[in-house]
Structure 1
Amino acid sequence: MRYFTRGWANGELTDDAHALVCDAYAARLEQIVFRFPSSMARLHQETSLHDALIESVRWKPSAAELQLRLVAGTSEIGYQTVSLTYRGAMLGRPRIASLRNAANDREACVLYQELDIADDGTFAHRLLFWPNEEVTIEFRELEYDSAPRNDCRVTLGGAFVVEGEEEPA
């Protein structure tokens, strides 16, 4: 995470430093949001992933495709299934391990997210999880879908699945 770090989330910053982080991320978004493809714009505008639970992760290393299915929302506003498919995903072993750890910990949830664009046009989705994982997903394309659901219970089993062969070391 570049902005919403673990220290920021844990309240380790002064009030002024906390506000500066929020202002810096808002300024960054202002610079790049017009370059977001519609799927990223919808994710940014329509969905809060705060407290979202991972329902499943499917990683296809041979296709460089990551499918992340989350359960987001609250009892007040309702719940939704958020499906994110990252194509051209660039994930090394440490990121895969962190994502696997978060997916297999059924109490883990998203604390904060950051959306960004690198100078070369690569997109980034950074996720800070409670209690301890952090994952940056760099990618070329994002497919976003959401659908209402009745509750926040995740389907158990198959939390993290690798399809095909693992990528070489």
Structure 2
Amino acid sequence: MKYFSRKIMYGGVSDAESAFIVSRYYRGHLPTILQRLPAPLAEVARHLSDTGAVLSLHDGLVRSVSVDVSHCALTLSLRAGDNAVGYYDLDLTYGGVDMTRLDLKLLRRFASHARGEALYHEVDVMPGGYFVHRILLWPAGLGELALIFREFTYQRVSQPDRSFVKTEPAFSIREVGTG
């Protein structure tokens, strides 16, 4: 992660310093790229939809991950929210994914973890018309996910609470040339 590194968020600096670093650098960087992001990605980056709905990934529990290699697509499904704003399912769909830089082992471990969460996330613009969505995962041993892609959409559906029954299998992959 470029801004929300594990060191900054957990142990390398004080809470006040980490808040300053994130606020100053990432929140300072975000306005410089918002116009270059697809509208749905800009909404997720700002944590607010154009209708005013909260879109925070913070502490979002992973419901499932689906990868379609033949179409260079990935869907990350989370249960996010809190008591203040309510809970919701957030399905993030990435198109034009750079499959050569996709960590399938990490995605499988994250999706299969009983309590895997997205702690913090950041988006950025990359050369060649690509975008990157970096997600700091929990538990700490899972690491960081970097999704590199060209297209992005999301779907948000309100839910009554944080609990859900995990889809089985929580990780699915469709290879080239399969049904």
TM over 0.5: yes
The equivalent residue for 1:52 is 60
The equivalent residue for 1:163 is 174
The separation in 2 between residues aligned to 1:21 and 1:77, in whole angstroms, is: 23
2:148 aligned to which of 106, 113, 138: 138
Residue 151 of structure 1 pairs with residue 161 of structure 2: yes
Gaps of 5+ in 1: none
2:112 aligned to which of 76, 81, 104: 104
What is the count of residue pairs matched by the alignment?
166
Shift of 1:93: 7.0
Residues 30-79 of structure 1: CA deviation (Å, up to 9, x unaligned): 21011111111221232111000111111011111001111100123211
Is contact 1:127-1:135 (8 Å) kept? yes
Is contact 1:54-1:154 (8 Å) kept? no
Counterpart residue type for residue 35 of structure 1: R
Is contact 2:101-2:148 (8 Å) kept? no
TM-score (norm 1): 0.89
Gaps of 5+ in 2: 49-54
The equivalent residue for 1:118 is 126
- Matched-pair identity in %: 33
| Partner-residue secondary structure (3-state), 1:120 | helix
The separation in 1 between residues aligned to 2:20 and 2:104, in whole angstroms, is: 32
> What is the RMSD computed on CA atoms of the aligned residues?
1.9
Is contact 1:50-1:112 (8 Å) kept? yes
Higher mean Cα deviation, 140-149 or 89-98?
Answer: 89-98
